[in-house]
A = this chain, B = another copy of it.
Amino acid sequence: MSERPLIIDCLQYCNFSHGIFRQMAEGGVSAVHVTIAYHELFRETVSNISRWNRWFEQFPDLICPAGSGDDVRNAHERGRTAIIYGLQNPSPIEDDIGLVEILHTLGVRFMQLTYNNQSLLATGCYETEDTGLTRMGHEVVREMNRVGMVVDMSHSAERSTLEAIEHSHRPIAITHANPHAWHPALRNKSGDVLRALSQSGGMLGFSLYPHHLNNGSECTLGDFCQMIARTADLMGVDHIGLGTDLCQDQPDSVVEWMRTGRWSKSIDYGEGSSNDAGFPAQPDWFRDNRDFANLQLGLLEAGFSDAETAQIMGGNWLRFFDESFGPA
């Protein structure tokens, strides 16, 4: 690979700053899908978009907004990092299907139908009962298909995920999760889900959030890349990419916000525990946006060809963006 590789990270929720944008440039990151809402309603989400608008004005040499594959190519050629918005919860659309198109116009390209809990649309992975897509869920998936907003089931329960794959007329994504068979976290995905995902043309982004990793923060690069190789055997090398779930520079209050939002007065420890309530430490081979080269080397060492490595590092997501972000 003589020219600069195209790197796409399909999920980050960093405490973004000039420093992190510089690290993205140093790491050669061409595009990042950034979470702009966890539990926010519409108006709060718009304020988060406003904050990004100010960053785009302040740091035009580092970052730019992106709503299409071509925007990502353009950023890559100009040495910028393209920023793509996503929602980890449908709370920003409130009870209003019209807000799907409004948020798409404002640049949102991914929306999770649930974040751990039951939503108006589907069931989250932490509920005991999974009732699948709701009435509104069916309508909203169709509307997302129409405008070009990707259904993301990273935090959804099994039946809901399979129903979303089946009901959606366009391929969906699981932007940040790993196979349950490798590490049995509640958030990681079954073979059934991964097979149905790839057969429908969907994409899986591999997570580097330690709670999703075998041996957590001690997970080795070799183990991680072998897992990717086995997943490629299951799903095909065309349907996998990265979605690191990097939460750099966030205070521990933010992981509490992610888990508990405003839906409970008690603390929910999510994937952590009362003894391990904060953000876990990153593996030393993937600390931040400067370490994507380690992943690239790991993939080559795991036996992927140059072309396959380029697909996993960004090429597959770019193709998926081309197919997914415009009107149906």
Contacts and interface: CB of A to CB of B under 8 A. Distances in A.
Interface of A: 42-43, 46-47, 49-51, 53-54, 96, 98-99, 101-102, 105-107
Nearest to A105: B106
A286 B53 CA distance: 43
Contacts of A106: 102, 105-106
Contact of A46 (B50, B54, B102, B107): B102
A75 to B, nearest CB: 18
A102 B43 CA distance: 11
A47 B96 contact: yes
- Could you tell me the dominant secondary structure of chain A's interface residues? helix
7 contacts: A42-B43, A46-B102, A50-B98, A50-B101, A51-B98, A53-B102, A105-B106
A-B residue pairs, 4 tightest by C-beta: A50-B98, A53-B101, A46-B102, A105-B106
Contact of A98 (B42, B53, B96): B53
A98 B43 contact: no
A318 to B, nearest CB: 24
Contacts of A102: 46, 49-50, 53, 106
A105 B43 CA distance: 15
Nearest to A43: B43
A191 to B, nearest CB: 39
Given A46-B99, A105-B106, A105-B107, 17 more contacts: A42-B43, A42-B46, A43-B43, A46-B102, A47-B96, A47-B98, A49-B102, A50-B96, A50-B99, A50-B102, A51-B98, A53-B98, A53-B101, A53-B102, A54-B98, A102-B106, A105-B105
A49 B46 CA distance: 15
Contacts of A47: 96, 98
A101 B53 CA distance: 8
Contacts of A101: 50, 53
A186 B106 CA distance: 39
A90 to B, nearest CB: 16
Contacts of A46: 42, 99, 102
A172 to B, nearest CB: 23
Nearest to A147: B53
A99 B46 CA distance: 8
A105 B49 CA distance: 11
Contacts of A43: 42-43
A96 B43 CA distance: 11
Contacts of A99: 46, 50
Contacts of A50: 96, 98-99, 101-102
Contacts of A42: 43, 46
